[in-house]
Structure 1
Amino acid sequence: MNPESSHRNAIEQYIPILFPYAYNILGAVEDAKDAVQEVLTKQLSDPNALVKDEKSYLIKSVINLAINMKTRQKKTTWKEEFWLPEPIATDDAADRNLHLNEVLSYSLLVLMERLNARERAVFILRESFDYSHAEIAEILSVTEDYSRKLLSRAKASIFKPAPKRTQVQAAHERQVLERFMSAIQQRDTQLLESIMAADIRFYADGGGKVPLVTNLCIGAPEVAALQILVYHKFLRFARIVFTVVNHQPAFLSFVKERLTSCVIFDLHPEHGTVLQINAVLDPDKLKTLKQTHYNA
């Protein structure tokens, strides 16, 4: 193997390491892949460049590029009230070439949309990757005090990452959602509301491309009525598949074998009450999930 091929292979080994950093900041799979590819391509273009710690250098480059991309994303995103992150499969059908254990939960990604790109990066590096403030300051070219201030502001807006799901918890979640779907199919409003928190919130993101019944609904009676309406009007003959995205339970809806929606559930970790429902209908955000084959 010639030196150039050897260097390329060595660089490409960083792809699964770099991807979670980019994705957690951007909340979009293709954008994250583009950020990683751009950084690696730049590094490959000058194989003689001297870098003392190549891994740390590439991580720093990807994080800063992702911050810039996220800032632009927030300025140019479609003019709707809600923008939901792109879900990524983390079940048995997921791409195991990526370090998916480091991908954040979907609910946390939704909460992080409240933050600016730099606050988001500091929160991710400190809380998810256990970086010190000195390391964060070096990566973002800020002072340690400013890093602490950014983290404090981020924490004031969002919660800490939820603990990893256990197998028992995952099985319980599936049972809850099977009851949830059964209640919808049977139009059992009372059962459906009993599975939901009283102040449950429903969000939907069609990306400005898909007509929505509503993009926001609050309260168990209202959300239950909406779920029953949507199912019996649009999804009665759809194939509904249970899966896991971003470490949270979800339903994929296939209409004539076309993936039309990914609905992600935030459940109470102890009693399984549904706290929030996030429905992604934007076809561009479903592209990655389309690449995975799900069986009924």
Structure 2
Amino acid sequence: MYNNTVVLEDYQSKLFPYAYNILGSIEDAKDVVQDIMLKHMNLDNVKVENTIGYLIRSVINHSINIKKRSSKMTSAEVWLPEPMATEKADSDLNKEEIISYSLLVVLEKLSATERAVFILKEAFSYSHQEIAEVLHLKIENSRKLLSRAKSKLDKGNGYNDQKSHEDRTEYLRNYVNIVKSGDVNKLEKLLSDDIKLMADGGKDIKVLRNITSGKSAALDLIMRVFETFQVSQKIKITEINHQPALLFFDEDQLVNCQVFELHNHKIKSVFSVVDPLKLKHIEYLLVTFFMM
């Protein structure tokens, strides 16, 4: 069915953001897209009027089903999405359709269907009629699901920092220098009063299971982690899901990705991913597309 590799890759790049934004997993999103493409390629005798529309609907609904199953299996206190490098994204990926890391985190509060409705409306600008057609809902049910989703999300959730890439890079460079200097007074001035730190080590890496909240507790944890683990590690400033981030390397191996949420020149949240499985994609991009 697909004798044009360019067309196939174009479909895959268009479908991936839908799956990733719903699942929060790069590998799962790739698997979903591949499954749907293979099923469609086997429909030789079935005529599809709008191929890309059909594929998008299939990917969204398949992603919802997988999200429902995975939500039942997740038992960790903190589950963080797999980070996506948007500073050096895959050349064939429309990175603007990848939603912010902070928003991916808070969307975990929603059911799989609520999440899909919210993403289609807010990230892809679908009308309620279009959402209803994709998810096989009534238009009124789509409106109710969106309203319910928004009511579950706190005001200010998501990421809307307006700093330029250069300003955010300079902000993190200053943060790193302060942490390295051990100047807790300067560091304290960078932290929001209600700052939250959370970490995901997956199955193999032990991390604090609970969210650390408040300036005093965060200050202590940041310095303790740096002095215990990061003092000898190489640190690289980058962008993850459109947010400023730090990558930590131990002998050239990526061991930690910290994504920062900034509000009013203060650090509001730090999302620390140390699960090796969730760092594979970023490490692959580092090796493939640009040198460390």
TM over 0.5: yes
Alpha carbons 2:80, 2:273 under 8 Å: kept: yes
Q: TM-score, normalised by structure 1?
A: 0.92
Hey, what's the Cα distance between the residues in 2 that align with 1:70 and 1:279?
A: 22
Q: Taking structure 2 as the reference length, what is the TM-score of the superposition?
A: 0.93
SS at match of 1:6: coil
- Measured in 2, the distance between the counterparts of 1:11 and 1:147 equals 31
Q: 1:281 aligns with which of 252, 274, 277?
A: 274
* Alignment-derived partner of residue 59 in structure 1: 56
Q: Give the corresponding residue for 2:139.
A: 144
| Among 67, 72, 78, the residue aligned to 1:82 | 78
Match of 1:34 in 2: 31
Structure 1 residue 48: Cα displacement: 3.1
Q: CA deviation at 1:8?
A: 6.4
SS in 1 for 2:272: strand
Q: Spell out, residue by residue over 1:196-215, the C-alpha distance to the aligned partner (whole angstroms, 9 max, x if none).
A: 10110001011131012554
Q: Give the conservation status (yes or no) of the 8 Å contact 2:106–2:158.
A: no
Find the residue that maps to 1:173 and give its secondary structure.
helix
Structure 1 match to 2:217: 222
Paired residue secondary structure (1:13): helix
RMSD: 1.7
For residues 151-190 of structure 1, the aligned pairs below 5 Å read: 151-158=146-153, 159=155, 162-163=159-160, 169-190=164-185
Structure 1 contact 253–259 (Cα < 8 Å) conserved: yes
Deviation at 1:11, TM superposition (A): 3.8
- Say whether the 8 Å CA contact 1:125–1:136 is kept in structure 2: yes
Which ranges of 4 or more aligned residues in structure 1 deviate by more than 3 Å?
A: 7-12, 159-163
SS in 2 for 1:261: strand
Partner of 2:232: 237
Q: 2:102 touches 2:159 (CA, 8 Å); kept in 1?
A: no
* Structure 1 residues 208 and 177: CA distance shift in structure 2, 3 A: same
CA contact (8 A) 2:16 2:29 kept: yes
- Conserved in 1, the CA contact under 8 Å of 2:82 and 2:279? yes
The question of whether the paired residues in 2 share the 8 Å contact of 1:239 and 1:255 is answered with: yes
Aligned equivalents of 1:291 and 1:215: distance in 2? 30
The separation in 1 between residues aligned to 2:183 and 2:255, in whole angstroms, is 24
Matched residue SS, 2:212: strand
Q: Equivalent residue of 2:104, what SS?
A: helix
What number of residue pairs does the alignment pair up? 287
Extract unaligned runs of 5+ from structure 1: none
**Which residue of 79, 100, 105 corresponds with 1:105?**
100
* Equivalent residue number for residue 65 of structure 2: 68
Structure 1 partner of 2:202: 207
Q: Structure 2: 5+ residue runs without aligned partners?
A: none
